[in-house]
Structure formats: C-alpha cells, structure tokens
Homo-oligomer: A and B are copies of this chain.
Amino acid sequence: MTNERDMIEKMLFTHKVSQLSKALWKTIEKDWQQWIKPFDLNINEHHILIIIRSLDEATISEVSKYGVMHVSTVFNFAKNLEKRGYLTMPKSQHDKRTTYLELTDKGLEVLRKTYVSYTNDTNRLYEIATDYEKVMYNMPEFTDVKYIVGQIYGSDFINHIEQNHEQLRKYLLDERSEDDA
C-alpha cells in the first residue's frame, strides 16, 4: 500500500509541474511566434539561426542538443533555411557523415533584424518578471527549473545558455554602437 501511495504522490507532483510547465512554455511560444512573424520564420527556424550564430562551428547534432529538437527536425528546417539562402550545409572534410550549418550574410542579417525589431509588445514574461521583482526584491531566477534541466540535459547545456547570454549581449551592444557611428 505504501508503495502505491508513493506512486500516487509522485504522479500528482509531476502532474502539477506538467501543467505549470505547459502553461509557461505555451505563453513563451506564442510570444516568440508573434515576435518573428514579420520575418516569415517559425520558432524552430529562428532557434536554429540563433544557435548557429552562437557557436564557432555548428553541427546538426549540436544544434539538436542545444535547441532541444530532433536531429531530423533540425535537418528539415535547416534545408528550408538553406533554400532561402540563410545558411549553407557543408559536409566535414574529415568525416563525411558530419554536416555543418553555417550562417550566410543574408542569414546573419535576418537574425539581426529580428533582434532589432524586438519590442515590449511580445514580451509578457519580462513585464511580469519585473512585477515579481517589486514584491520579491529580485528577478525570478528559475533555480529549480535550471537544476532539473541541468540534470537532464547536462551542465554543457546550462553552460551554453549562460555563455550564449553574455556573448549575445556583447554582439548586440557592438552592433548598436556601429549603428550609432
């Protein structure tokens, strides 16, 4: 009986977190779609462009890992992006089974435009996070989500998010100063 009770508690816990997680992701997904709609990109395509730019050399399997997408999903959407001239898909010289994804100038330009067009209208999350800050004295840090994601996807995954964060900030600030110059 105790084991059965345990199982019920486990399921209830997971079910609760599932509902919260689904609701959060669906909101983010909607805002993200809204943001990139003018560029005729879907979330997967945009995410692929973002990840490629953040890596020195991006392989399909790396993009799959950091983007939480199936390898076949990455491959199919990368093919679309290739057709539109946003990236190239060269094979590795050393191992023909490895395909690299490389941003073209056109791809980098469309990505830059999505960043520049970013507005408050499609960012409910940030607004709410600052309300949270007013009450709790700090921005939400999603410590528990980060812990769980780190345990499942590995510290590599978390490190990529953190490094990409800093590197993207630098890139965007540099871009802005060039525009000012």
- Which residues of A does B touch, CB under 8 Å? 1, 4-5, 7-28, 31-32, 50, 68, 115, 118-120, 123-126, 128-129, 131-132, 139-149, 151-153, 157, 161, 165, 168-169, 172-173, 176, 180
Contacts and interface: CB of A to CB of B under 8 A. Distances in A.
B23 A125 contact: no
**Top 7 closest A-B pairs, CB basis?**
A140-B144, A25-B25, A10-B126, A23-B149, A128-B151, A11-B118, A26-B68
A47 to B, nearest CB: 8
A26 B22 CA distance: 9
A124 B61 CA distance: 23
B129 A22 contact: no
Contact of A169 (B8, B25, B28, B157): B8
A168 B14 CA distance: 13
Given A5-B173, A16-B165, A21-B24, 13 more contacts: A1-B176, A1-B180, A11-B118, A14-B28, A20-B145, A21-B28, A23-B68, A23-B149, A24-B149, A25-B25, A129-B148, A140-B148, A142-B144
